[in-house]
Amino acid sequence: MPRFCAACGGQMADNATACPACGKAAGQSAGGGAAAAPATSSGTGVADNVAGLLCYSPIGLFADIFFLVADPYKTNKKIRFHAFQSLFLCGAIVAIEIGLMIIGGILSAVAGPLVLIMVPIYFVLMFGIIGLMIFLMYKTYQNQKVTLPVIGALAEKQAG
């Protein structure tokens, strides 16, 4: 049965006393199964792909702020990019919602039943946002960078 290093995930020989890739002692190795992914590029905290996923999750606003101010994460350009892109995306969504509410108010003032046109628009927008967030979470977890058209360029500038 092959053995894998618990620290770096590298494969080790059965009689090895240390990992040939990272040099950790064999007592810290785990046997069988797939190799474990390294925690982060620096070796501490949450993995970069999981941190990026959390930025687009339902707790994204809190995760964005945390990752932008917490010490090991605030210097990581990859995590900063996802946090800023998520913040800017949330800001754009709020602006679109406010615009739709204004349009709905105007339609209800002109002709009351005409406001019902907004119902399918809200549903399409809601499902589109949910789909976009799931897509961004999936791609980020797979370590693939998705840059949104206008928002992504702003996030790139802010991430440094």
Q: How far is CA 84 from the centre of its chain?
A: 11
pLDDT(109) > 60: yes
Question: Is residue 155 within 8 Å of 81, Cβ to Cβ?
Answer: yes
> At 50, is the secondary structure helix, strand, or coil?
helix
DSSP at 40: -
Q: How far is CA 98 from the centre of its chain?
A: 25
Q: How far apart are CA 141 and CA 128, in angstroms?
A: 20
Tens-digit pLDDT profile for residues 76-106 = 899 999 999 999 999 999 999 999 999 999 9
pLDDT at 128: 96
Q: How far apart are CA 99 and CA 96, in angstroms?
A: 5
Percent of the chain with pLDDT over 90: 44
Q: What backbone phi and psi angles, to 5 degrees, belong to 10?
A: -70, 150
Quick one: average pLDDT of 112-127?
Answer: 90
For the chain, give every domain's residue range. 1-36, 48-159
Q: How far apart are CA 117 and CA 95, in angstroms?
A: 19
Instruction: Report the chain's mean pLDDT, rounded to a whole number.
Output: 83
pLDDT at 29: 38
Higher-pLDDT residue of 113 and 32 is: 113
pTM, to two decimals = 0.68
Q: Tokens 């707790």 — which residue?
A: 59
How confident is residue 2, by pLDDT bands cut at 50, 70 and 90? low
Tens-digit pLDDT profile for residues 22-35 = 777 765 434 444 44
Quick one: average pLDDT of 109-114?
Answer: 85
Tens-digit pLDDT profile for residues 42-64 = 455 788 889 989 999 988 889 98
Give the list of residues 6+ apart from residue 93 with CB closer than 8 angstroms, or none. 129
